[in-house]
Amino acid sequence: MTSLPTTRVLQLKREGAQLFVTMNDPTTRNALSATMLADLEAVLAVTRDDRTVRALVLQGRDGMFCAGGHLKGALAGAAAATGAADPVHEENQRGGRLLHQLNRHPMVVIASVDGPAIGGGLGLVCCADIVVTTPRARFALSETSLGLTPAQIAPFVVNRIGLATARRLALTGARFDGAAAAAIGLSDHHCESPEHATATVERLLADIGRCGPHANAVTKALLFEVAGIDRDDLIRRAADAFTACLRSDEGREGIAAFLEKRPPSWAGAA
């Protein structure tokens, strides 16, 4: 059995063949900060070849899943010089690599969403094999409302819910709940309470436990190969698009408005 890494904003709990990964960074609402990315990278690295772990359950604490990108960190990076060592571009690619690793992780990944999963948080959800939601689940592709683009999460969102629905949600920034997520295929199991969600996850883990861990890993890789959705080169191009948006006048205004809790200059102009 692989020893679990020491993490700062993730709480790890091994129960037999299951690993519960709980995001717990209330100061950022579990945003995808550099610390969160490092913790998730470490967990995926140590479990990638460990077939004693059958399933990874990704969840949040206290009614929060993941608020998305760490905008304060992105805004600070935007002030840095552009070029080969552009911190915004590098961090955006890092996020894309993490999503790719989570999406292709050999074990079964369950996202248990009891609270907001916004922007990059929705991207994490789209990388799971199975999604469970509660009435507190809330989603949005909010990037365009900030003058940004959902660059790295876009392929995973399209793969999960389809191009037409992804277009509608991304181009409106619309917010929706767990029931609506089930209606569009984002959620596999929408539950009427957190207790029902816990029972559903337990039932899913029992089902997964009846499957061969090596067979599941091989099958998951084969399904991706059949679907033809390996997009390594898209990570760089997505980072190009995100970085350009972040450094634009619109992107700077959008993030400033978000941090100042006011509407951006273009809000309501349509």
State the helix-helix crossing angle for 87-103 and 71-78, rounded to 10 degrees.
140
C-alpha angle 69-154-37 in degrees, rounded to nearest 5: 35
> Which helix (DSSP H) or strand (DSSP E) does residue 205 occupy?
helix 194-209
The overall average pLDDT reported for the chain is 91
Q: Which of 94-98, 110-114, 168-172, 221-225 comes out lowest in average pLDDT?
A: 221-225
pLDDT in the model for residue 227: 77
SS (H, E, C) 128-159: CCEEEECCCCEEECCHHHHCCCCCCCHHHHHH
> Could you read off the pLDDT of 17-46 as tens digits, one per residue?
999 999 999 999 999 999 999 999 999 999
Q: How far apart are CA 16 and CA 11, in angstroms?
A: 16
Instruction: Examine the pLDDT at 270 and tell me if it is beyond 60.
Output: no
Residues near 84 by beta carbon (within 8 Å), at least 6 away in sequence: none
Question: Which one has a higher pLDDT value, 128 or 75?
Answer: 128
pLDDT digits (tens, 9 = 90+) for 182-214: 999 999 999 999 999 999 999 999 999 998 999
Q: Which residue has the higher pLDDT, 211 or 98?
A: 98
Provide the phi-psi class of 26: left if phi over 0, else alpha when psi is between -120 and 50, else beta: alpha
Look at residue 6 in the predicted model and tell me its pLDDT.
Answer: 97
The pLDDT score that the predictor gives to residue 166 is: 98
Spatial distance between the Cα atoms of 128 and 240, rounded to a whole number of angstroms: 25
- pLDDT (average), residues 49-58: 95
* R_g of the chain, CA atoms, integer Å: 18
Distance CA 269, CA 181 (A): 28
Is the model's pLDDT at 250 over the cut of 90?
A: no
Enumerate domains of the chain plus CATH numbers. Answer: 10-192+212-227 (3.90.226.10)
Q: Is the Cβ–Cβ distance between 178 and 190 less than 8 Å?
A: yes
Residues 230-242: pLDDT tens digits? 566 678 878 888 8
Check if the beta carbon of residue 216 is closer than 8 Å to that of residue 54: yes
Q: In terms of Cα–Cα distance, which of 177, 195, 175, 202 is closest to 187?
A: 177
| Rounded Cα distance, 119 and 139, in Å | 8
- Tell me the two tokens of residue 240: 């190009």
The answer to whether the beta carbons of residues 90 and 236 sit under 8 Å apart is: no
For residue 231, give the 3-state DSSP assignment: coil
Paired sense of beta strands 189-190 and 130-133, if any: parallel
Strand, helix or coil at 70?
coil
| Rounded percentage of the chain residues whose pLDDT exceeds 90 | 72
SS3 98: helix
